[in-house]
Amino acid sequence: MEEIYQKLSVVNLWQGFRNSDEPSFEVIEAWLHHSSGQIHMSRKPVSVKELDDWLPIDETDGEGDTKKSLVLRIALIGCDIKKRILKLSSDVMKTLLKSFDLELAYKYSQSCITNVAAIPPQSNEHQAYSFCYMPKLAAMWAHRRFDVQSPTDRSYLTQGVIFLDESNMLFLSEVFRTPWSALLYESPMFPAFLLTLILSTQIHQGEEKVKLKIRASERCSSTQMPHQGYDKSVMGLFISLAAEADRCAVKLGSLSRKSKMVEKALKFILKNISEQSGHGTSPTSVSAEACQLLKSHVLLLEDRLEMQTVDIEYTLKRVQLQINILAGIISRSDFQATLMLAESQHRDSLSMKTLAIVTMFFLPGSFVSALFSTSMFDWDSVDPSSNGIGVRLLPQFGLYWVITIPLTIITFILFFMWLLRNDTGVTQ
């Protein structure tokens, strides 16, 4: 069975991420108090120099009534998605994965974008798991069962690594730092449940943000409806609202993808709970009480997810309706602007026509007066006492037409060549 996971691990969808040289990383630990059966949570930084002292798992703390054992520890590795950086050195990463028996789980996780899976066990006491919702969240953890006669009085331990971006770091650490019933830490599905709870909460928060933006857009589009004319500032507002509605639609698409991941994870948890129920010596055997408690929590999340899915669909319809309304408003306003432009061009056309008529009225007289004012006629030879209107032409009259006619023809040829060139450029 391990062979198929090794083959799939060849595909690396995390390409482009590189390791940094961060000197430390955050760790969340859960300690079981033997006397009270309560869980105590702690969060602390672990420097690279402290790694060898921190990694051993067979330690307990205190004696007698104060005795406690480590049952969960999670290393939080920050990610810079924009720069594609994993904020831990590659050497420390390899040491953590090897110590936690998560090397195969890490390689397999790199071949997934959204997935939750159980990795084939490396031993009879160990079972590894992978949870991926890239690029913002990815986790690998291993659940190990111990001999109840061990000196630590600890029958189980869950160790893992979570990669997450800065926006999720605070929220996730708070969820993991909240103490839960000690029975839940017994199940290897408990980290998957917490990660699913985080995604479910993010779905709710993301949808609420979208609803606030859509409500604001709906109010604005109803109060700022352009009934007459074209207002440039109002149209700028509607264009920005349309862009915001498009972003909301994209966000809801992302939330739908996230809800699919939550649905997949919840089914995975329920399936594994049924396999883990009861006692035994296998790495997945969990007490019936722990399985029942975790199952009740998962069923509650499943019920909430159904309502979230319905709510997302309804919100998406509101967003699409708002997009259509804004598109209609902008389209009508563009049509109004086009009509205004056409009317303006029509007025300009009438003005040009009037100017052309006036020019035509004065052009003949201007041409005649200009022609007669030139020295091409012998006005001195005209007899004032004669009733005739004949005027003798001078030689310059013929020269005028010899130059004017060819120059006019050349001008028209150049003009038509320019028009032909422009028409060819537009066609191409």
With 60 as the cut, is the pLDDT of residue 226 above it? no
Q: Which of 255, 264, 252 is nearest to 301 (CA)?
A: 264
Residue 262 lies in a domain: yes
335 and 382 together in one domain: no
pLDDT for res 206: 92
Q: Is the dihedral of CA 6, 7, 11, 13 positive or negative?
A: negative
Q: Is 128 part of a structural domain of the chain?
A: yes
24, 136: one domain: yes
65 close to 35: Cβ distance less than 8 angstroms: yes
How many structural domains are present in the chain? 3
- pLDDT reported for residue 145: 80
Residue 363 three-state SS: helix
* 285/316 same-domain check: yes
Q: How far is CA 240 from CA 233, 244, 327, in A?
A: 11, 6, 11
Domain residues for the domain of 250 are: 201-341
Question: Does the residue 353 lie in any domain?
Answer: no
Examine residue 354 and state whether it is found in any structural domain, yes or no: no
**Residue at a domain's end among 179, 213, 228:** 179
Give residue 279's pLDDT. Answer: 47
Residues 9 and 107 sit within 8 Å (Cβ to Cβ): yes
- φ/ψ (deg, to 5) at 140: -135, 140
Do both 285 and 330 map to the same domain?
yes
Q: Are 149 and 73 in a shared domain? A: yes
Q: Cα 281 vs. chain centroid, distance in angstroms?
A: 46
Tens digit of each residue's pLDDT (9 = 90 or more) over 100-124: 989 989 988 888 888 899 987 666 5
pLDDT classification of 165: cutoffs 50, 70, 90? confident
250-309: pLDDT as tens digits? 999 999 999 999 999 999 999 999 887 654 545 456 788 899 999 999 999 999 999 999
Answer yes or no: are the C-beta atoms of 61 and 67 closer than 8 Å. Answer: yes
Q: Count other C-beta atoms under 10 Å from residue 118's C-beta.
A: 18
User: Is there a single domain that holds both residue 53 and residue 124?
Assistant: yes
Q: Is the pLDDT of residue 152 over 60?
A: no
195 part of a folded domain:
no
Residues with Cβ within 8 Å of 42's Cβ and at least 6 positions away in sequence, in order, are 28, 29, 31
- Prior bond of 135 cis (ω within 30°): yes
Look at residue 146 and tell me if it is in a domain. yes
Q: Is 345 left (phi over 0), alpha (psi -120 to 50) or beta?
A: alpha
Tell me what pLDDT residue 61 has. Answer: 58
Residues 259, 306: one domain?
yes
Give the pair of three-digit tokens for residue 231: 């207002």
Residue 281: the pLDDT is 47
Top pLDDT among 393 and 201 is at: 201
Kindly give, in sequence order, each residue whose CB lies less than 8 Å from that of residue 36, ignoring residues fewer than 6 positions away: none
> How large is the average pLDDT for residues 376-380?
73
Q: Report the range of poorest mean pLDDT among 134-143, 373-382, 415-424.
A: 373-382
Q: Are residues 158 and 76 in the same domain?
A: yes
207 & 293 share domain: yes
287 and 403 inside one domain: no
What's residue 426's pLDDT? 57
Q: Which helix or strand (DSSP H or E) is residue 422 part of? A: helix 395-427
Instruction: Answer yes or no: do 14 and 109 share one domain.
Output: yes
Reduced to 3 states (helix: H, G, I; strand: E, B; else coil), residue 78 is: strand
Tokens of 38: 């309560």
Higher per-residue confidence, 357 vs 119: 119
Q: Residue 78: which region, alpha, beta or left (left: phi > 0; alpha: psi -120 to 50)? A: beta
Distance between CA atoms of residues 366 and 361, nearest Å: 9
Q: What is the mean pLDDT of the chain?
A: 82
Flag whether pLDDT at 315 surpasses 80: yes
Q: Which of 66-75, 111-120, 152-161, 243-252 has the lowest mean pLDDT?
A: 152-161
Q: What angle do CA 55, 60, 61 make, to 5 degrees?
A: 115
Is 380 found in the same domain as 269? no
Q: Is residue 241 part of a domain?
A: yes
pTM over 0.85: no
Residue 213 has pLDDT above 70, yes or no: yes
Of 86-90, 180-184, 308-312, 411-415, minimum mean pLDDT range: 411-415
Strands 114-123 and 24-33: unpaired
pLDDT of residue 230: 59
Whether residue 16 is predicted with pLDDT greater than 80 in this model: the reply is: no
Average the pLDDT over 367-381 and give the result.
73
In a domain, 56, yes or no: yes
Q: Report the range of poorest mean pLDDT among 92-106, 308-322, 400-414.
A: 400-414
How crowded is the C-beta side of 291, counted as CA atoms within 13 Å? 15
